[in-house]
Structure 1
């Protein structure tokens, strides 16, 4: 099946080949949701355009209507009025089950079936749409590798045997298994610890850079919205979208005092979220693998003002920091030095870097590549220099023009009501 055929029918399955399926445009036009017995609609007259291939984040406080709005896209909640089109086709014209099978869906705490293995969880939708066993097995392993889980290790485990972060990765793999052009994510990382959450966010950014899906992501965390979103829709009371724009435009020019208050007083620090580690010049230090001679690393460190180096494993993954003191009487690079703490990836943001640097004794964090190989170093000086440059740019008016609006939303609404099961 070609990409064109896949996009023409959001309820159809996609070919699971290596070429990525690009996303599809979603248009909400005067969409309203009313519940019996409630005077005010939960979502009232919402109109917005979600561009193909972009991640659009709906962000706002609990009860503002963001989850209800998202669930109307795959008809887990049926709209009371208005239209939703997906790649130009009216979602209401598609059988609901067929529609949902063509849309990836990932929720908080993963929503995995506890009685099924990891492989069977991932294979749920491909099985429902009639893929043969050989194709399903190959796709399952492909998806587990894509989200950083070794198939041989995790394929036959059950959800209870996984950590929270691993469960969320399986949930994302299941959502992507049938290669849908559209992925809905309802606070998928809200139930994990902050470090794991940051890693999962980085993983999603990596996946999106490779796959180019259209993603609608719901969160109440504005920092997460800035990190992940190509565009952000900030929802206020009664389901009004207060501002719908790029993260940079919202941070630089909040639409009103309510948006400014939602952003918070640390807007300048949130600017760090707009820059990836890969976009700044990384530092370097002497390195050596564990099986190399001590003298070579000792000499390389002695020639530098900053007297630290890194010991790597055979795959060049960072293991330990070592100083001239550690090496003074050492005969081997094995088991000496200080363990490397939290590492960053090239897709991490500078705000992630700041948080990591604050916990590092060396005030320097290690950056790794996709497979964990050493890529370079980032320091506090790097962040200070970046913020100084940003202030200078805004002072000269180079970054004060807001980006083109992606659409507009108007309307009022009462407290949102959630209440739909995870569909496959």
Structure 2
């Protein structure tokens, strides 16, 4: 990667909101009242709360899409309220629901907007656009010249993220960016964001009303009440284990123990390596022989970049002219960034073990139901042990 390197270095900067308030004329109560928070550099902080509580207003004051009435906001030590507003916004990536792409611009033109405004030369912009498309999993040759209307919802969101990151900003603001896509695509986009963040280490402020999404994505979660009052600001683990009050407990909801699966990633468990993988250019007879020899019923077809495409059953190969003409397309895959809850849902959709992909979409192994069940049992045992210990500390019978 030419301008962003995969390393342990943090490219994001700290954001501090100090006693920030927003009042609208003609209203008695402020929309945001005396909000103070430090967003650590290189971390994802998620604002979660009910509709109308002020979470989006709070986030938009960071890049001054909404001007605060009072208070101070610093970004990397710079006073955001004293910077030229256009200069400020070009230093902050912004991704919103339904991507917000310019419909009359191609994918390449959309991604290259901010670098172009910053005066980058054409060659540098073109190189950066291709780099960003590859980073978010869109083949430049296939997608560069398409228009937004020619893309699926998930593809549009990927372009939106690429555009937000194109000028290499230290800060990324994301306002319910995945709220308008189907659950499977949403999970894949969440995984993609986590993969990107592992490489890029930006400072990300993410707004959502979905607590499960907050738990999956956030290094820290701010549960907000009316007027953006901070009800609890902590790690997902701490909020799940110890909600600050009944309102926060309501966001956590029932099944807090099962939500622990959202804290565990597929990369945390051992993957199976027993699937027979093949490529589409192999002959059906050769694949059938491999399956028979290994006493397997299914083979997993990989494309030229070793990405899983579909399962093929041994019976389908008997009269097939090519491997590419048969098989069951994958309805869902998970990545090493996915949660075990994602994996469980994918298994229910696929009806069995699910392929797992690595950092660039390449095949990494499979995850099976037995693995998730044993993990759930381990979590239950740990909770039972904790409950016994707590009861003993309080002098009560377990």
Same topology, TM > 0.5: yes
Equivalent residue for 2:202, pick from 209, 213, 223: 213
2:289 aligned partner: 295
Computed over aligned residues only, the root mean square deviation of the Cα atoms, in angstroms, reads: 2.4
2:365 aligned partner: 376
Query: CA 1:64–1:366 in 2, change beyond 3 Å: closer, same or farther?
Result: same
Deviation at 1:373, TM superposition (A): 3.3
Quick one: distance in 2 between partners of 1:138 and 1:326? 43
Quick one: distance in 2 between partners of 1:331 and 1:150? 30
Quick one: distance in 1 between partners of 2:14 and 2:312? 51
Bigger RCO of structures 1 and 2 (CA < 8 A, at least 6 apart): 1
2:337 aligned partner: 347
Quick one: distance in 1 between partners of 2:55 and 2:335? 30
Does residue 126 in structure 1 map to residue 115 in structure 2?
A: yes
SS at 2:103 equivalent: coil
> Number of matched residues?
379
2:48 aligned partner: 59
Deviation at 1:336, TM superposition (A): 5.5
1:359 aligned partner: 349
Deviation at 1:393, TM superposition (A): 2.9
Quick one: distance in 2 between partners of 1:162 and 1:339? 20
Quick one: distance in 2 between partners of 1:161 and 1:330? 36
2:394 aligned partner: none
1:40-51 → structure 2 map (5 Å cutoff): 40-51=29-40
1:3 aligned partner: none
Query: CA 1:203–1:320 in 2, change beyond 3 Å: closer, same or farther?
Result: closer
Structure 2 spans left out of the alignment, 5+ residues: 391-398
CA contact (8 A) 1:16 1:179 kept: no
Deviation at 1:71, TM superposition (A): 0.5
Deviation at 1:256, TM superposition (A): 1.1
1:127-142 → structure 2 map (5 Å cutoff): 127-142=116-131
Structure 1 spans left out of the alignment, 5+ residues: 1-14, 302-306, 402-424
Equivalent residue for 1:117, pick from 101, 106, 113: 106
SS at 1:359 equivalent: helix
1:68 aligned partner: 57
Quick one: distance in 1 between partners of 2:96 and 2:235? 24
SS at 1:267 equivalent: coil
- Summarize deviations over 1:207-244 as a string: whole Å, max 9, x none: 11110000000011111111111000011223211111
Equivalent residue for 1:158, pick from 147, 150, 153: 147
Does residue 19 in structure 1 map to residue 5 in structure 2?
A: yes
Does residue 265 in structure 1 map to residue 254 in structure 2?
A: yes
Quick one: distance in 2 between partners of 1:326 and 1:120? 44
Quick one: distance in 1 between partners of 2:149 and 2:275? 42
Length-normalised TM-score, structure 2: 0.89
Quick one: distance in 2 between partners of 1:280 and 1:64? 38
CA contact (8 A) 1:320 1:336 kept: no
More displaced, 314-323 or 23-32? 314-323
Query: CA 1:197–1:28 in 2, change beyond 3 Å: closer, same or farther?
Result: same
